């Protein structure tokens, strides 16, 4: 079969379980596509062909024996921020270019237990800092919809790999939008779960109070399958919450769009820099949801102007602390011929970290230093609480909140936006992480250059099922999520 990559995850599992094709055939099909097509997209940092085929063969044995679990034999790509035992994990950085983790991240381990086949590790902005994936030591990834544009970031490799059909689904992480924004730029569905829903164990830390892993795929249904694998309490992550997980797949029709109250924040649709096409497509999608029975309710989110400054203080502050561990001593890059310990630290870090990461370490260290701590860090934490309260108040009168995922469609590669311009592009995603809420991106059409536009739905705590369900029903009534970039139509 030449079109295995066109199957949904459900169809893949059905095909595997009814022996229409084997996991080896499916895996080989993706490996062929990666070999032929990823030379243009550059979504993978590491392709683990040999291990993948071995895992596929093992999956085929289990399938034949009739002992398969739902996803046995289905391939996946992992963001290169998840530690993988025996396989290089770089976090997009030169400082981890030689790093082979001695253990698997919980998300990766759970994937193995579920029988998933790892195709490889995909590109990302260095330490997940960025919105374009250009801040990767391994070079830029192209947007499958237009190769001269970025796929977004930081989970740009995950998004590009799925959008080019170089993986059926992928893991991502979202600290301030890194699942939702690349999903939006590449025309995919991506879910950022409630903080604490997915284990952070073995997920390389950027800003620990904001980081959360989640699924990226074509549809809400595909995401639900991966979410069933990723979600759950983990004793190895003290911030993972001991709370029953839903069955996200069987819950896909649990919430009705009929009667759903969708909050439309006044402040969000008046943001300077909101592209006219993005605004129009998002409004059309809301109109569609209204036709399906939802009620649109205008709401206030008064803290909107504080999102960017608050996040860009707290995230670098946590990053400056988290990234202290890369010092060239025990693992990672070490400079050549250090004259003494200070020289070793200094040069290993200045040679190993890229510019954006160094900038954020400096900002974070400054904000945390004695004398500035109260004025910056403590103040940002107080504003963070107000942002959270703003959302909780809104959820008293609405079920979900709608917004664009990003004010624009994908930037051109090399656009070289100033930090301020770049950071303002995160306006719609940051508050969700500051408040710890779940949110989802769904593709809702294209701009005049045929680049995808995304709708974001933000839910109350633990409402992942509801978000997936609403998007699933929208996707039953529309076909934006089935659109494929020309490069995904190519056969390997
Ligand atoms: N673009 C944001 C940043 O640069 C968010 C990144 C993320 O979610 N990892 O920090």
Cα(305) to centroid(ligand 1), Å: 18
Section 205-226 average pLDDT? 98
What pairs with residue 77 in β-bridges?
Answer: 120, 170
Of 119, 113, 150, 97, nearest to 51 by C-alpha is 119
Using most ligand atoms within 8 A of CB, pick from 82, 135, 175 the residue to mutate for ligand 1: 175
Q: Quote the pLDDT of residue 76.
A: 99
Ligand 1 cavity residues, CB under 6 Å:
128-131, 154, 174-178, 206, 315, 426
Number of domains the chain is built from: 1
Which one is catalytic: 22, 23, 43, 79? Answer: 79
Q: Is the pLDDT of residue 1 over 70?
A: no
Cα(429) to centroid(ligand 1), Å: 9
State pLDDT tens for residues 284-317.
999 999 999 999 999 999 999 999 999 999 999 9
Catalytic site includes residue 43 = no
Which residue owns the Cα nearest ligand 1 atom 5? Answer: 176
Domain at 211, CATH number: 3.90.1300.10
% residues pLDDT > 70 (the chain): 100
Cα(267) to centroid(ligand 1), Å: 22
The answer to whether residue 448 sits within a structural domain is no
CA angle in degrees (0–180, nearest 5) for 21-163-478: 90
Q: 365-369 long-range contacts, Cβ below 8 Å, gap at least 24?
A: 365/320, 367/313, 367/316, 367/317, 368/317, 368/320, 368/321
What is the span of the domain harbouring residue 15? 4-260+459-489
Which one is catalytic: 154, 219, 285, 463? Answer: 154
Using most ligand atoms within 8 A of CB, pick from 134, 154, 427 the residue to mutate for ligand 1: 154
What pairs with residue 87 in β-bridges?
Answer: 84
Which residue owns the Cα nearest ligand 1 atom 10? Answer: 129
Q: Quote the pLDDT of residue 491.
A: 82
The answer to whether residue 366 sits within a structural domain is no
Section 186-193 average pLDDT? 99
Catalytic site includes residue 154 = yes
The answer to whether residue 130 sits within a structural domain is yes
Strands 439-446 and 400-404: unpaired
CA angle in degrees (0–180, nearest 5) for 30-445-476: 75
The answer to whether residue 98 sits within a structural domain is yes
pTM over 0.85: yes
The answer to whether residue 212 sits within a structural domain is yes
Section 156-163 average pLDDT? 98
Cα(58) to centroid(ligand 1), Å: 37
Section 360-378 average pLDDT? 96
Q: Quote the pLDDT of residue 361.
A: 98
Q: Is the pLDDT of residue 82 over 80?
A: yes
Cα–Cα dist 393/435, whole Å:
12
State pLDDT tens for residues 409-467.
999 999 999 999 999 999 999 999 999 999 999 999 999 999 999 999 999 999 999 99
What is the pLDDT confidence band of residue 492, given thresholds at 50, 70 and 90? Answer: confident
Using most ligand atoms within 8 A of CB, pick from 79, 125, 157, 361 the residue to mutate for ligand 1: 125
Cα(177) to centroid(ligand 1), Å: 6
The answer to whether residue 312 sits within a structural domain is no
Q: pLDDT averaged over the chain?
A: 97
Q: Is the pLDDT of residue 490 over 90?
A: no
Catalytic site includes residue 79 = yes
The answer to whether residue 276 sits within a structural domain is no
Q: Quick check: 194 and 436 in contact, CB under 8 A?
A: yes
The answer to whether residue 358 sits within a structural domain is no
């Amino acid at each position: 079969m030449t079109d295995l990559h066109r199957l949904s995850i459900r169809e893949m599992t059905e095909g595997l379980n009814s022996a229409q094709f084997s996991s080896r055939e499916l895996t080989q099909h993706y490996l062929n596509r990666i070999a032929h097509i990823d030379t243009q997209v550059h979504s993978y940092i590491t392709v683990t062909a040999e291990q993948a085929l071995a895992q596929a063969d093992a999956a085929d044995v289990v399938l034949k024996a009739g002992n398969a679990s739902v996803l046995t034999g289905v391939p996946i790509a992992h963001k290169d921020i998840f530690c993988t035992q025996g396989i290089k994990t770089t976090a997009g950085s030169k400082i981890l270019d030689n790093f082979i983790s001695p253990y698997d991240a919980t998300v990766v381990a759970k994937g193995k237990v579920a029988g998933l086949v790892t195709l490889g590790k995909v590109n990302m902005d260095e330490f997940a800092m960025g919105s374009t994936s250009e801040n990767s030591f391994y070079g830029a990834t192209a947007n499958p919809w237009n190769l001269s544009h970025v796929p977004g970031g930081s989970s740009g490799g995950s998004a590009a790999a799925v959008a080019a059909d170089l993986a059926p689904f992928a893991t991502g992480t979202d600290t301030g939008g890194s699942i939702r924004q690349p999903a939006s730029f590449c025309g995919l569905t991506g879910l950022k779960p409630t903080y604490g829903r997915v284990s952070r164990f073995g997920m390389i830390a950027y800003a620990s109070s904001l980081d959360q892993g989640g699924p990226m795929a074509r549809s809400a249904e595909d995401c639900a399958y991966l979410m069933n694998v990723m979600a759950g309490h983990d004793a190895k992550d003290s911030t993972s919450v001991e709370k029953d997980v839903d069955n996200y797949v069987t819950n896909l029709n649990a919430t009705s769009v009929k009667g759903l109250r969708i909050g439309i924040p006044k402040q969000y649709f008046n943001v300077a820099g909101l592209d006219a096409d993005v605004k129009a497509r998002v409004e059309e999608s809301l109109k569609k949801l209204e036709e399906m029975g939802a009620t649109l309710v205008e709401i206030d989110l008064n803290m909107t102007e504080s999102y960017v400054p608050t996040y860009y203080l707290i995230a670098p502050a946590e990053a400056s602390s988290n990234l202290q561990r890369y010092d060239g001593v025990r693992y990672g890059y070490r400079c050549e011929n250090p004259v003494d310990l200070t020289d070793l630290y200094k040069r290993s870090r200045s040679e190993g970290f890229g510019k954006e990461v160094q900038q954020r370490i400096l900002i974070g260290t400054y904000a945390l230093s004695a004398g500035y701590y109260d004025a910056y860090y403590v103040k940002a934490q107080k504003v963070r609480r107000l942002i959270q309260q703003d959302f909780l108040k809104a959820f008293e009168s609405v079920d979900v909140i709608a917004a664009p995922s990003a004010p624009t469609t994908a930037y051109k590669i090399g656009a070289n936006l100033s930090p301020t311009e770049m950071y303002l592009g995160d306006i719609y995603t940051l508050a969700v992480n500051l408040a710890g809420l779940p949110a989802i991106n769904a593709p809702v059409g294209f701009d005049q250059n045929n680049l995808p536009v995304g709708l974001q739905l933000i839910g109350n705590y633990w409402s992942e099922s509801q978000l997936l369900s609403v998007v699933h029903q929208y996707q039953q009534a529309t076909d934006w999520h089935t659109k494929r970039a020309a490069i995904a139509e190519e056969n390997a």
